[in-house]
Amino acid sequence: MSDARLPVKRTAKLFIGGVFPRSESGLTYEVVAHDGRPLAHAAQASRKDLREAVVAARGAQPKWASMTAYNRGQILYRVAELMEGRRAQFEAELSDAGASDPARGVNAAIDRWVWYAGWADKIAQVSGATNPVADPYFNFTLPEPTGVVGIVAPGEQPLLGLVSRVAPAIVSGNTAVVVASERSPLPAVSLAEVMATSDVPGGVVNILTGVTAELVPWLAGHMDVNAIDVTGVPADLLTEAEELAAENVKRVHRGPDVDPFSDAAQSPYEITALTEFKTVWHPIGA
Partner 1 sequence: MSEAIETPSATWEYAPAPESTDIVRLDDRYGLFIGGEFVEPISGRWFETIDPATEEPLAEVAEAGAEDVALAVEAAREASAPWQALPGSERAKYVYRIARQLQERAREFAVLESMNGGKPIRESRDVDLPLAAAHFFYYAGWADKLEYAFPARSPRPIGVAGQIIPWNFPMLMAAWKLAPALATGNTVVLKPAETTPLTALLLAHVIREAELPPGVVNIVTGAGATGAALVGADVDKIAFTGSTEVGKAIRRATAGSGKRLTLELGGKAANIVFEDAPLDQAVEGVVNGIFFNQGHVCCAGSRLLVQEPVFDVLLAKLKDRLQTLRVGDPLDKNTDIGAINSRAQLEKISELVDSGVAEGAEIYQPKCALPERGFWFRPTLFTGVSQSHRVAREEIFGPVLSILTFRTPEEAVEKANNTPYGLSAGIWSEKGSRILWMADRLRAGVVWANTFNRFDPTSPFGGYKESGFGREGGLHGLEPYLELDGGTR
> Nearest distance from residue 118's CB to partner 1, in Å?
2
**CB contact set of 174 (below 8 Å; sequence gap of 6+):** 61, 64, 65, 145, 146, 147, 148, 149, 226, 227, 274, 275
Nearer residue to partner 1 within complex by CB, 117 or 205:
117
Residue from the set 188, 231, 268, 274 that interacts with partner 1 by CB under 8 A: 268
With contacts defined by CB under 8 A, how many residues of the chain interact with partner 1?
23
Which strand ranges, in their side-by-side order, compose the sheet holding 275-283? 129-130, 137-145, 275-283
The secondary structure element, H or E, covering residue 47 is helix 47-66
Nearer residue to partner 1 within complex by CB, 98 or 118:
118
> Nearest distance from residue 185's CB to partner 1, in Å?
28
The four Cα atoms 49, 21, 9, 97 give a dihedral, to 10 degrees, of 30
Distance CA 170, CA 203 (A): 11
Residue from the set 4, 6, 134, 286 that interacts with partner 1 by CB under 8 A: 286
**If binding is defined by CB under 8 A, does position 36 make contact with partner 1?**
no
**If binding is defined by CB under 8 A, does position 283 make contact with partner 1?**
yes
Q: Which stretch binds partner 1 (CB under 8 A): 7-15, 140-148, 153-161, 277-285?
A: 277-285
Q: Within 52-71, which residues bind partner 1 (CB under 8 A)? A: 69-70
Distance CA 251, CA 269 (A): 14
> Nearest distance from residue 138's CB to partner 1, in Å?
5
Give the number of residues written for the chain: 286
**If binding is defined by CB under 8 A, does position 138 make contact with partner 1?**
yes
Nearer residue to partner 1 within complex by CB, 124 or 233:
124
> Nearest distance from residue 205's CB to partner 1, in Å?
20
At CB < 8 A and 24+ separation, what contacts does 7-12 make?
9/40, 10/40, 10/189, 11/40, 12/40, 12/41, 12/42, 12/43, 12/185, 12/186, 12/189, 12/209
**If binding is defined by CB under 8 A, does position 134 make contact with partner 1?**
no
Q: Which stretch binds partner 1 (CB under 8 A): 47-55, 73-81, 184-192, 209-217?
A: 73-81
> Nearest distance from residue 136's CB to partner 1, in Å?
8
Q: Residue 211 CA to chain centroid, in angstroms?
A: 17
**If binding is defined by CB under 8 A, does position 143 make contact with partner 1?**
no
Amino acid code (one letter) for 180: A
Q: Within 93-132, which residues bind partner 1 (CB under 8 A)? A: 111, 114-115, 117-122, 125-126
CB of 215 closer than 8 Å to CB of 50: yes
> Nearest distance from residue 259's CB to partner 1, in Å?
17
> Nearest distance from residue 137's CB to partner 1, in Å?
9
Distance CA 213, CA 100 (A): 28
Of 271, 283, 274, which is closest to residue 125 (Cα–Cα)? Answer: 271
Distance CA 258, CA 231 (A): 12
Binding site for partner 1 (CB under 8 A): 69-70, 73-74, 77, 111, 114-115, 117-122, 125-126, 138, 268, 282-286
